[in-house]
Chain A
């Protein structure tokens, strides 16, 4: 094969896999997450080059693509895993590109002899796609030496090693607990090629996420509501149990409730399409987060 042929192929392969388009939607639809996006681009590039190398009869064997996603709740681990499955499918690394999301309960049995068939069934379902194990550290319970989780881990390791071209395993969870999990399961850690960390979102990123969510639900914030929401985010972030994008989604869902309630209370007057779409500052300021000084907040946004 000549060099020129290989040069021509790169554009061809890119167009053929249509992966560029997928990466672009990833950039527009996922806010922030720069390290994650960089890593996904790197993996996509590697697989693409691997394809071309195969065409040029250069072989390095398929790379290992088992991953671990660590990050706080609501940072988009599951969403990215879904996209990952699609990207790997487009690049021909996995054959079907579906995602099977499981937790400890789906893998570990309740009595002796229950775990192996259960784990194997899940693995078989995931073959050809991506197996996403959420909160993977629950698999390992050091305080109970007879815990069946260890058995599930062993089966998992075996399949991760021997059937690399049949499925990709993604382990996800909070960073510190995942690190402890890998610390006590070095076999698992060494079989995972990509450790991807999901950073927390900055306030302006959370606002952008809210904008995307509202857009997809065909709502919008009034100018006052936007200021109120920025305030909401600042307050909510400092409170306990803040779950990044998930908290934003919940906040918006509650704002929708209040908006609906407000509109129903206006019985008698006619509602415009605009009314149905707009969330006002009051819908947001009624939140528990503003409890202590709601009046002060109201004064600040001028409503």
Chain B
């Protein structure tokens, strides 16, 4: 099951040239870039791990692409995303965040039904991947 999170999530995966063009746009807006990775694809997992330091004052997408190549080599079986942070007063949050690398295959999620009192049902979404410990989730 293909994970859809963040901007462009319903488009096919972006090519490197398309990623570069998006980063170029972000830098033109004066946003700071960062790269994050995780192997816990749960949609409520908002705290991914940082790959390297956030990148401020870049002028060209080449700098981010270097880091991206490095991240892919280090974590070939993780999800990797690129974030653009807008520090403008009053916004101070991510403007753009999109997945640039994903493991293959992606087993997806299971829906767990939890029966509670009065035959009510509570639902939980759980990623198959997280059955295994961190770092071994996508063999």
Contacts and interface: CB of A to CB of B under 8 A. Distances in A.
B128 to A, nearest CB: 35
A161 to B, nearest CB: 14
A129 B59 contact: yes
Give the most central of A124, A129, A163: most B CB within 10 Å: A124
Contacts of A166: 60, 62
Interface in A85-139: 95-96, 98, 117, 120-121, 123-125, 127-129
B60 A128 contact: yes
B55 interface: yes
B29 interface: no
Interface residues on B, range: 10 to 19
A125 B64 CA distance: 10
B62 A127 contact: yes
Interface string A161-199: 001001100000000000000000000000000000000
Given A117-B52, A124-B67, A163 B62 contact: yes
Interface in A128-156: 128-129
A121 B52 CA distance: 10
B111 interface: no
Contact of A125 (B52, B58, B61, B67): B58
A124 B58 CA distance: 7
B58 A127 contact: yes
B53 A121 contact: yes
Interface in B58-84: 58-64, 66-67
B54 to A, nearest CB: 10
A102 B57 CA distance: 14
A121 B66 CA distance: 11
A98 B62 CA distance: 14
A128 B55 CA distance: 15
A124 B64 CA distance: 7
A117 B51 CA distance: 12
Contacts of B61: 128
Interface of B: 52-53, 55, 57-64, 66-67
Given A117-B52, A121-B55, 10 more contacts: A117-B53, A121-B53, A124-B55, A124-B67, A125-B59, A127-B58, A127-B59, A127-B60, A127-B63, A163-B62
